[in-house]
């Protein structure tokens, strides 16, 4: 993955058990006259650092970026566009390591310099806004992310040509934020705009795949149309499978999309085939760069989804193997108490409970308490988690505690309905979550009443 060249970067983390998190980071340098320094020399130095990063990772690349930043501070000043760009580069590396809070601090500095300069290149500024939005989504801060995404979109539509990279990446990030907020139809419309531009620009296949999988997941999880999702994937995938040779992260993501689609079609064997293809692809990627957290968290996400497949079929021993592998990877890859790790533990805990492991209930409750502090009360994953806890207590016969958590979940659903705008779309996934909670509550009340 190219972190500092002018060819472009894709940072894409898909976890359909959590949320879709895709950010497009494209670093295309401005004409030399826009920046008062030797642009060719600058790009050459960045590319040298990029090659070192690809071979040796972040620990070696960051000191080199800092050294180059110091040089430009001495020659161009602390508030130069070059310095702002180098600060951004360090922030982006933190995003790749899922250190979103630290990344935001650096990108804030970069944006502050860009906003103070009249000659800041459009793509520099929009790229920084888009990445800050992505980092905020990583922290499940969708309302805050929306501010940056809307600003990047407004600037791109006002100042960039209709077929341009700035508009393409702005549309993509805006769609991702809308997805997180529940505005699925509007998100789909912007994804289609992004893929149209990417195709007309003859964009690289990795970028196009990010749009393809986003649309497939929307058809799959939001509209509940797995048949249409499969037709869409089959219409887009053949040239991609033909075009990619060897190991490629985008190919792993495409395998994951196919696995999810076949899973929703109840073709379990076909789904697992693609799960294992995805795991194999991520394993090969890890050999090329052990410092890229995306390669490890990508494997963890696939293992989670494979574990869920086993869990839903009652194959709890097989599920436990996948969930434990997932947890081991995330423990090594993510900062402590990261929302992704906490949310992933929910599935692991439910499977442990199904196996009769008393530690499962403890894990479910402990991680729930952490998740409560990380997300809004109207976050659907939190509401479903409250339903899980309610179900656990109901099955134990503690109806009072079950009702307490059912009522928390129902209150969250009510607040969620009130805060959503008129154009908000109630997805298949959301209906399924609501139905499960409401049915559980009714049964718990009936049990309490002795009916």
- The DSSP letter of residue 222 is I
Averaged over 3-31, what is the pLDDT?
Answer: 31
437 band by pLDDT with thresholds 50, 70 and 90: low
List pLDDT tens digits, range 178-204: 988 878 778 888 988 888 888 777 666
Alpha helices, H only, 57-99: 58-76, 81-96
pLDDT > 60? residue 311: yes
pLDDT of the residue at 350: 95
pLDDT of the residue at 10: 30
pLDDT of the residue at 77: 84
- The DSSP letter of residue 377 is T
Averaged over 232-239, what is the pLDDT?
Answer: 81
Buried b (16+ CB within 10 A) or exposed e, 424-443: bbebbbbeebbebbeebbeb
* 146 in Cβ contact with 177 (< 8 Å): yes
Rounded Cα distance, 155 and 172, in Å: 14
* 339 in Cβ contact with 355 (< 8 Å): no
Helices (H) and strands (E) in the chain — how many of each? 19, 2
Contacts by 322-328, CB closer than 8 A, 24 or more apart: 323/347, 323/348, 323/351, 324/348, 325/300, 326/300, 326/301
pLDDT of the residue at 7: 23
Higher pLDDT, 279 or 124: 279
Rounded Cα distance, 378 and 419, in Å: 9
> Which of 155-169, 242-256, 367-381, 418-432 tops mean pLDDT?
155-169
- The DSSP letter of residue 29 is P
- The residue with tokens 């957290």 is 293
The most distant pair of C-alpha atoms in the chain lies apart, rounded to whole Å, by 81
In DSSP terms, 19 is beta-bridged to: 15
Query: 3-class SS at 185?
Result: helix
Domain ranges of the chain: 376-451
78 band by pLDDT with thresholds 50, 70 and 90: confident
Please state whether the predicted TM-score (pTM) of the whole model is above 0.75: no
445 band by pLDDT with thresholds 50, 70 and 90: low
In DSSP terms, 11 is beta-bridged to: 23
Percent of the chain with pLDDT over 90: 35
pLDDT of the residue at 39: 64
22 band by pLDDT with thresholds 50, 70 and 90: very low
Among the ranges given (163-167, 216-220, 405-409), the one the predictor scored with the smallest mean pLDDT: 216-220
The DSSP result for 112-126, as a single string, is HHHHH-TT--HHHHH
Arithmetic mean of pLDDT over the chain: 80
| Dihedral of the alpha carbons of 243, 25, 257, 225, in degrees to the nearest 10 | -120
Higher pLDDT, 215 or 445: 215
Nearest to 123 by CA among 20, 27, 223, 2: 27
- Written in H, E and C, the secondary structure of 4-18 is CCCCCEEEEEEECCC
Averaged over 147-161, what is the pLDDT?
Answer: 95
Higher pLDDT, 41 or 207: 41
pLDDT of the residue at 18: 25
pLDDT of the residue at 27: 38
Among the ranges given (10-19, 36-45, 113-122), the one the predictor scored with the smallest mean pLDDT: 10-19
Among the ranges given (50-64, 158-172, 200-214, 223-237), the one the predictor scored with the smallest mean pLDDT: 200-214
Contacts (Cβ under 8 Å, ≥6 apart) of 248: 206, 281, 285
């Amino acid at each position: 993955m190219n972190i500092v060249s002018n060819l472009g970067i894709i940072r894409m983390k898909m976890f359909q058990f959590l949320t879709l998190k895709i950010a497009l980071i494209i670093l295309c340098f401005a004409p030399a006259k826009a920046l008062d320094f030797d642009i060719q020399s600058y790009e050459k130095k960045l590319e040298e650092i990029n090659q070192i990063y690809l071979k040796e990772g972040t620990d070696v690349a960051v000191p080199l970026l800092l050294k180059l930043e110091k040089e430009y501070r001495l020659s161009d000043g602390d508030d130069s566009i070059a310095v702002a760009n180098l600060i951004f580069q360090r922030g982006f590396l933190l995003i790749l390591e899922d250190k979103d809070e630290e990344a935001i601090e650096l990108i804030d500095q970069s944006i502050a310099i860009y906003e103070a300069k009249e000659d800041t290149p459009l793509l520099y500024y929009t790229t920084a806004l888009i990445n800050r939005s992505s980092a905020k989504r990583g922290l499940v801060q969708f309302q805050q992310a929306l501010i940056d995404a809307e600003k990047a979109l407004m600037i791109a539509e006002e100042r960039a040509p209709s077929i341009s990279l700035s508009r393409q990446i702005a549309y993509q990030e805006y769609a991702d934020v809308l997805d997180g907020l529940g505005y699925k139809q509007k998100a789909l419309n912007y994804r289609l705009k992004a893929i149209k531009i990417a195709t007309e620009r003859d964009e690289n296949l990795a970028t196009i795949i990010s749009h393809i999988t986003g649309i497939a997941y929307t058809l799959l999880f939001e509209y509940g149309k797995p048949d249409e999702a499969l037709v869409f994937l089959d219409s887009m995938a053949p040239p991609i499978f033909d075009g990619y040779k060897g190991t490629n992260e985008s190919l792993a993501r495409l395998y994951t999309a196919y696995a999810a689609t076949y899973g929703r079609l109840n073709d379990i064997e076909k789904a697992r085939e693609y799960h294992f293809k995805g795991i194999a692809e991520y394993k090969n990627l890890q050999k090329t760069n052990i410092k890229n957290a995306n390669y490890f968290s990508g494997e963890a996400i696939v293992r989670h989804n494979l574990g869920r497949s086993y869990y839903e079929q009652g194959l709890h021993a097989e599920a436990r193997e996948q969930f434990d592998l997932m947890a081991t990877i995330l423990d090594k890859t993510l900062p402590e108490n990261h929302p992704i790790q906490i949310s992933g533990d929910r599935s692991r805990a439910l499977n442990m409970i199904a196996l009769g492991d008393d530690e499962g209930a403890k894990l479910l409750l402990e991680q729930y308490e952490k998740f409560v502090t990380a997300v809004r009360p109207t976050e659907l994953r939190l509401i479903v988690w409250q339903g899980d806890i309610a179900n656990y207590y109901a099955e134990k016969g503690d109806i009072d505690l079950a009702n307490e958590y059912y009522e928390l979940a129902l209150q969250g659903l009510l607040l969620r309905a009130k805060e959503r705008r008129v154009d908000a779309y109630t997805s298949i996934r959301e209906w399924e979550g609501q139905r499960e909670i409401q049915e559980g509550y009714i049964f718990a009340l009936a049990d309490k009443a002795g009916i």
